[in-house]
Amino acid sequence: MKDILEEAGSMSEEITAWRRHLHEIPELGLETPKTAAFIVQELKKMGVGNIREKIGGWGVAAVIEGALPGKVLAIRADCDALPIKEETGLPFASKSGLMHACGHDAHTAMALGAAKLLLANRDKLAGTVKFIFQPAEENVQGAKAMIDDGVMENPAVDAVIGLHTGCLWKEIGPGEIGVRFGSLMAAVDRFIITFKGKGGHGATPHLTVDPVTMTSTAVLELQTILSRELSPLDPAVLTIGRIEGGRAFNIIAESCTIEGTVRTLSPETRAFVEERIRAIASRVAEGMRGEAEVKYESGPPALINDRDFTKKFQEFAAELAGADKVKEISEPTMGGEDVAFFLEKVPGTFFVHGSCNPEKGQVYPHHNPKFDIDEDTLPLGSALFAGFALNWQK
């Protein structure tokens, strides 16, 4: 265990250089050609021969086969950035108007480090490790696109592991590891409801069918799904983020639209909330002589860590880094992560890699133009990935 951590430590400068290069070339969504080209270039330099490119866009997969028989573990690293103008002042800061403000540059660098470690220890590796370098996590399109394009096959993946770096959970400090059994992050859904009526003059509302009134009523009634129809112990969020309707103060509009998001931690609650949104919107509209058109878009499911697999990882991490460095996360977040699509297919775990260090001024949250991480924590991530791949089947 300690050997792999020491090996990773000896690669610190290289892993950091990878992270810094990626930080300088942020790309958005599924369109990450420069990032993909760099990943492939570095994998080939190491001697990885089994590489597949342009999966579901610009996704990359690389396969390392061990000398011993065994199962297939996928290590997933997301690699896209955000449309944020960087304000860190770092010498390797992005100048493109885009930014790695969520740590995906670090995720990719740590996965590359793990690949190099596994190549050096291939004689001890049972089974196969498939590295999945995924674009478009921020718009939650990349995981599904890669799965639809066959990334989980040839060879078929038996389990998956991934991490999120930074300070999403304040109780996980720099160089610490956070684990959670069961739900860690929420399902992310989007809905758009258009209320349709009959427009007219504001002075003669009795001759119209007012969609703004329908909308106003529905916005309040939709909140009763959470406050009166779900158990207070069943976490869910329903947020209306946009209301659009009308053109002038004295005109009753033909239509009015609301757009929002639903976040849930269980598949059953997710299905229930969708059904109730549709029913309430239709009932409110019909009760006011109008119509409601409901579009409901299901995003990533809830991120649910497999209990047995997570326990195995927790025990491994404690042995590698020390039990005092491994903490159980007390509460999930209602934020989402499309690694959930992979965890829906096979068992696995998604853990937290603490890397914000207040002593170094790294106090800014994710998606902030001043977000940064402590690069001294990067070798730990590589060691966790590689070490677990070497030990998970024992």
SS (H, E, C) the chain: CHHHHHHHHHCHHHHHHHHHHHHHCCCCCCCCHHHHHHHHHHHHHHCCCEEEEEECCCEEEEEEECCEEEEEEEEEEECCCECCCCCCCCCCCCCCCCECCCCHHHHHHHHHHHHHHHHHCHHHCEEEEEEEEECCCCCCCHHHHHHHCCCCCCCCCCEEEEEEEECCCCCCCCCCEEECCEEEECEEEEEEEEEECECEECCCHHHCECHHHHHHHHHHHHHHHHHHHCCCCCCEEEEEEEEEECCCCCEECCEEEEEEEEEECCHHHHHHHHHHHHHHHHHHHHHCCCEEEEEEEECCCCEEECHHHHHHHHHHHHHHHCHHHEEECCCCECCCCCCHHHHHHCCEEEEEEECCCHHHCCCCCCCCCCCCCCHHHHHHHHHHHHHHHHHCCC
Domains and CATH numbers, the chain: 2-185+302-391 (3.40.630.10), 187-298 (3.30.70.360)
Distance, CA of 394 to CA of 385 (rounded, Å): 15
Instruction: Tell me which residue of 187, 246, 195, 252 sits closest to 222, measured CA to CA.
Output: 195
CB 260 within 8 A of CB 296: no
The pLDDT value recorded for residue 323 is 98
Among 24, 42, 80, 210, the active-site one is 80
Q: Is 274 exposed, middle or buried (0-12, 13-18, 19+ CB in 10 A)?
A: middle
Res 2: pLDDT = 75
What is residue 158's predicted lDDT score, i.e. its pLDDT? 98
Helices 2-10 and 12-24, packing angle to 10 deg: 60
Say whether the peptide bond before residue 155 is cis (omega within 30 degrees of 0). Answer: yes
Identify whether 189 is a catalytic site residue.
no
CA–CA gap between residue 242 and residue 257 (Å, rounded): 8
Q: Which of 7, 24, 27, 137 is catalytic?
A: 137
How far apart (Å, rounded) are the C-alpha atoms in residues 299 and 262?
10
Contact of 389 with 118, CB cutoff 8 Å:
yes
Residue in the structure block whose two tokens are 């960087």: 86
C-alpha span between 324 and 62 (Å, rounded): 33
80 among known catalytic residues: yes
Amino acid symbol at 258: I
pTM of the model: 0.95
CA distance 154 to 168: 34
**Residues paired with 163 in a beta bridge:** 351
Rg (CA), the chain: 24
Going residue by residue through the chain (394 aa), what tens digit of pLDDT does each one get? 679 999 999 999 999 999 999 999 999 999 999 999 999 999 999 999 999 999 999 999 999 999 999 999 999 999 999 999 999 999 999 999 999 999 999 999 999 999 999 999 999 999 999 999 999 999 999 999 999 999 999 999 999 999 999 999 999 999 999 999 999 999 999 999 999 999 999 999 999 999 999 999 999 999 999 999 999 999 999 999 999 999 999 999 999 999 999 999 999 999 999 999 999 999 999 999 999 999 999 999 999 999 999 999 999 999 999 999 999 999 999 999 999 999 999 999 999 999 999 999 999 999 999 999 999 999 999 999 999 999 999 9
